[in-house]
Amino acid sequence: MDIHTIKNLKQLKQAGYQSKSIRDEIRGNLMNRLAQKKPIFEGIWGYEDTVIPDIERALLSRHDINLLGLRGQAKTRIARQFIHLLDEYIPVVDGSEVNDDPLNPISRFAIDLIQKMGDETPIHWLHRSERYVEKLATPDVSVADLIGDVDPIKAVNEKLAYNDERVIHFGIIPRANRCIFVMNEMPDLQPRIQVALFNILQEGDIQIRGFAFRMPLDIQFVFTANPEDYTNRGSIVTPLKDRIGSQILTHYPRSVEVAKSITKQEARITEDQSSRIEIPELLRDLVEQLVVEARQNEYVDHKSGVSARLSISAMENLVSAAERRALINGEKKTSVRITDLFGVIPSITGKIEMVYEGEQEGPFNVASIIISKAIRSLFAEHFPAVEKSAKADKDPFQRITEWFEKDKRLTLDFQSGDREYAQGLNLVDGLAEVVDRFKKDTGTMERYLWMEFVLYGLAEYSRISRKLGDHRTEFSDLLGSMLGEYN
């Protein structure tokens, strides 16, 4: 059917166009994609065996959907991709506010126009990109905003009585007829406003003010919400929740590899940055481990959740920290270091909700603790257990700790150039040998990264002391540091 040649109702009928509901439209296109083994959602990681199959079953059942999960679990991103399951174009009565189907009009405007013009009724074609409507639920949203109300100015200008349907100003939901309508953060909507949605979800129609008419709407509803028990802002009232066909639980990535894929996809790292700043795999793992530690940390409110946006923002700040350092030192290329992790603290403090003890500790200290625990966790995956090594006859870290016991210190400045960074690490006896033993065949800069990582790891396991200052980290003997503080 060539839509460019179809301009009125007569031509539409001659072309054999058949009306269908949006739910049947989505169901049919989904069935075709499943049969052809085509992907339904792009750029959604970790949901292949959990969330996506649930969504597909819900759409095949023609259900409205509630995506329930903590923040940063791609709920809105999923909802926005539903438009790919719509037909590319649908016919609409020209001038209709509610996207009237020419073969099945529902508004007074379209019904009157078709009665007046018959087969000459003009139509236009609506693209799928125009059939997605999204609304953020806020406490100030009113029934008039969503459903509609009488427009007195319209009545005066057109000299209409207040009992005339044409004085109605339609809200956002009627205007989304034959579209996908997404209501984000549903618990934020006041209960009395949620009640106004009962009939739309159950009977598929609306009623405005005292008008006797009921307008049957054709809408695919998608709601997003945090678990109601996890928020003090409100909840979805039980009768409304009962009318939503499928409630689908989202979740955070269940593996580091999935989390890394999400961060790599979403982090805004330019090609210019990628060409100048190397991001070793160890740092990518550490960024994801930050999120794991934050979700488990005693100072962080677990009910609030920790968004995947933490790792995305952290990666962007991590690269920028290395980039800033390279610019200061006039270096064309550099690699991300462990010390650059402390440049991501602003990404952490803004992404976590803390319990009372965390507020007392302070956001900076909590973020530093999270970084420390991430380093400690990954160190155990790459090097021998420090506690056991310290007691063994052949302790691989003995020369390193003995060097610091000679009252020697190493200061790593966050802004030092690559040459100064390498010279400092080479001063520590036994450090290079440990890396050469356990991390063979590494490049020059990566070798220094592992050397730095060993120092941070030994500090986390209390073999040496680490003191964080302004733009620098100082490593020293643990006992000497303790006695110095005591004195």
Residue range 212-251, pLDDT digits in tens: 667 889 999 999 998 855 455 568 888 888 999 999 999 9
What number of CA atoms fall less than 13 Å from residue 364's CA on the CB side? 5
What is the CATH number for 67? 3.40.50.300
Strand bridging mode 215-216 / 205-206:
antiparallel
User: What is the number of other CB atoms lying within 10 angstroms of the CB of residue 124?
Assistant: 14
Contact predicate 376/387, CB 8 Å: no
Residues 329 and 194 in one domain: no
Supply 282's token pair.
């160890």
Residues 329 and 346 in one domain: yes
What is the CATH number for 325? 1.10.8.80
Q: What is the mean pLDDT of the chain?
A: 89
pLDDT exceeds 80 at position 418 = yes
Residues 209 and 301 in one domain: no
The helix/strand/coil state of 96 is coil
pLDDT exceeds 60 at position 72 = yes
Residues 167 and 303 in one domain: no
Residues 256 and 241 in one domain: no
Residue range 140-170, pLDDT digits in tens: 888 888 988 777 777 666 766 656 667 778 8
Residue-range definition of the domain harbouring residue 471: 385-487
Residues 363 and 218 in one domain: no
- Beta-bridged to residue 91, according to DSSP, are 125
What number of CA atoms fall less than 13 Å from residue 204's CA on the CB side? 14
Supply 425's token pair.
């690490």
From the list 219, 208, 21, 215, the residue with the least C-alpha distance to 103 is 21
What is residue 486's predicted lDDT score, i.e. its pLDDT? 45
Residues 374 and 409 in one domain: no
- Beta-bridged to residue 149, according to DSSP, are 169
What is residue 452's predicted lDDT score, i.e. its pLDDT? 96
pLDDT exceeds 60 at position 358 = yes
Residues 283 and 241 in one domain: no
Residues 192 and 242 in one domain: yes
Residue range 20-70, pLDDT digits in tens: 999 999 999 999 999 999 988 999 999 999 999 999 999 999 999 999 998
Structural domains counted in the chain: 3
What is residue 487's predicted lDDT score, i.e. its pLDDT? 46
